[in-house]
Chain A
């Protein structure tokens, strides 16, 4: 894996909020096809990192490279159209629309012939494109076992299914890299296990995954590598084995034994 070029590189990312250094010289690489987890105590800067990587925040210092192309200054929608997608931990859905409509909107970037002008003319090519994407959206729902909920309002979904829908929306946009923000937050062990399987399946279909997560069972069970943040700084990077034996990391998570792989 270290011989293939990284698909994503961050170089000395620094982000302040007033006097607070939310991220300080964070440098790491993401390699194609791997599952990399970013972990750390609350306030470590994980969500800030995600926001910076996807263009929602600009770092005051440092740079980000996607396939060796600098994306640091790009807007979120540009970054998304290049194949870097993310989910949100809160406020993650198009609430008043149906599950199906939610996923269909995810296809936005791929739709080139579905413009308003074409819709106005309502010709055959437009209608063919529309059915193609509706088919694709439905296929994604099927992949995540959600096809029965297609006509439910997103607002009415149970919590676990809402997290799945968030991933479905990002999937619809054809990601090369998928960044998941605490996908198993609030899930029971059963749901967490199923989410882990889903994430593995996504990786097997060719998507590189960056996972921000608190749940150590998931992190240890699924990650190829782990990056540990604490108070905005990277304090460790390595395989789950290496991280579980890292004394600095253990002291930061003082006394949390669920952290060690069983």
Chain B
């Protein structure tokens, strides 16, 4: 997409909360970063491995709960709870992947959805541990304290935005490094032609688990950021809204494209806010958006923008 555009967008993202000082706008920026990480995490399995994990966003909610419980029950700081919840959801992802990847396509999709429902049931009903429908409150905000030198608590939208942005940049970096190495190429190969990949020595089952585990770990860390920002979480986080939301981000934005899914996260963040009046029918609106997008821009909005750009560029040449 051009190095200059990338640098421009990076500078813009650094300046955004300085340009837009309204707390509400900054709040949306935080949400956007968290959802962008979630979208990237889903795209690893959907875009690069080529499977449809309907239940993927359950790892998002699971990570939120893991991080909250680590912070509250073991008194861990956010900076420890974050990677630990990532490792936790990554391992759960691999455990769920082991039976799920015996299947493909729609069967794989439904099995992952089933696991997501199981996670939701556990979170909702294990009241003694997760407080069930009452949710978890008073989740501590991230804090850095070095006596006499620093004492920052990341409570405001402004400060939280920058740690979320760091996470987003980290996620983009990881994804790019994945694609440009042996592991990422193997994953793409499995998507394109699993038998051919097997015939040249790719251990497909192993790489499917790696892709899925990495995606679930990233989703879990996005969930951790969510938990320590809102500092209140409920079983809804493991619910249908986020399952569908994640899918919308990837499919509407552009499957298999980092800028595409980030654009999808942007749309998903902005959409409910611009359609405040339709709050009660949000899921229906999502369904309509999804249908329109699949019908007219099946490769995602980003590809529509790219082809428009190329068309304009070629018209300019005439």
Binding site for B on A (CB under 8 A): 54, 56, 75-77, 80-81, 85-86, 88, 91-97, 101, 104-106, 108-109, 111, 114-116, 118-120, 122, 126, 130, 169-170, 172-173
Contact = CB atoms under 8 A, between A and B. Distances in A.
Contacts, number: 97
B6 interface: no
Nearest to B186: A108
Contacts of B18: none
Given A91-B193, A94-B189, A108-B189, A76 B181 contact: no
Contact of A119 (B183, B186, B193): B183
A105 B188 contact: yes
Contacts of A126: 181
A134 B202 CA distance: 18
B43 to A, nearest CB: 16
B184 interface: yes
B180 A119 contact: yes
A47 to B, nearest CB: 13
B185 interface: yes
A91 B193 CA distance: 8
Interface of B: 174, 177-178, 180-186, 188-189, 192-193, 195-204, 210
B-side interface mostly: helix
A86 B199 contact: yes
Contacts of A93: 192-193, 196
Contacts of A85: 199-200
A119 B173 CA distance: 10
Given A105-B188, A116-B181, A91 B200 contact: no
B201 A104 contact: no
B41 to A, nearest CB: 15
A-B pairs, 3 with minimum CB distance: A119-B181, A109-B201, A94-B192
B174, B181, B188, B202, most chain A CB atoms within 10 A: B181
Nearest to B200: A173
A116 B195 contact: no
A77 B177 contact: no
15 contacts: A77-B198, A77-B201, A80-B198, A86-B199, A91-B193, A94-B196, A101-B188, A108-B189, A108-B200, A109-B201, A111-B182, A116-B178, A119-B184, A130-B180, A169-B200
Given A56-B195, A105-B185, 12 more contacts: A76-B195, A108-B182, A108-B186, A111-B182, A114-B182, A115-B183, A116-B181, A116-B183, A116-B210, A118-B181, A119-B177, A126-B181
Contact of A172 (B174, B184, B200): B200
Q: Output the residue of A105, A122, A173 with the most chain B CB within 10 A.
A: A105
Contacts of A96: 192
A94 B201 contact: no
Of the candidates B178, B198, B201, the one having the most CB atoms from chain A within 10 angstroms of its own CB is: B201
Contacts of B186: 105, 108
A115 B182 contact: yes
B177 A122 contact: yes
A54 B198 CA distance: 10
Contacts of A109: 200-201
B200 A106 contact: yes
Nearest to B173: A120
B177 A116 contact: yes
Contacts of A77: 198, 201-204
B180 A105 contact: no
A108 B185 contact: yes
Contacts of A130: 180-181
A116 B174 CA distance: 9
B200 A170 contact: yes
A119 B178 contact: yes
A104 B185 contact: yes
B192 A95 contact: yes
B217 to A, nearest CB: 12
A80 B201 contact: yes
Contacts of A97: 188, 192
A93 B188 CA distance: 12
A120 B177 contact: yes
A4 B121 CA distance: 66
B201 A81 contact: yes
A73 B200 CA distance: 17
B193 A94 contact: yes
From A54, A95, A119, residue with most partner B Cβ within 10 Å: A119
A96 B47 CA distance: 12
B140 to A, nearest CB: 29
A195 B198 CA distance: 25
Contacts of A170: 199-200
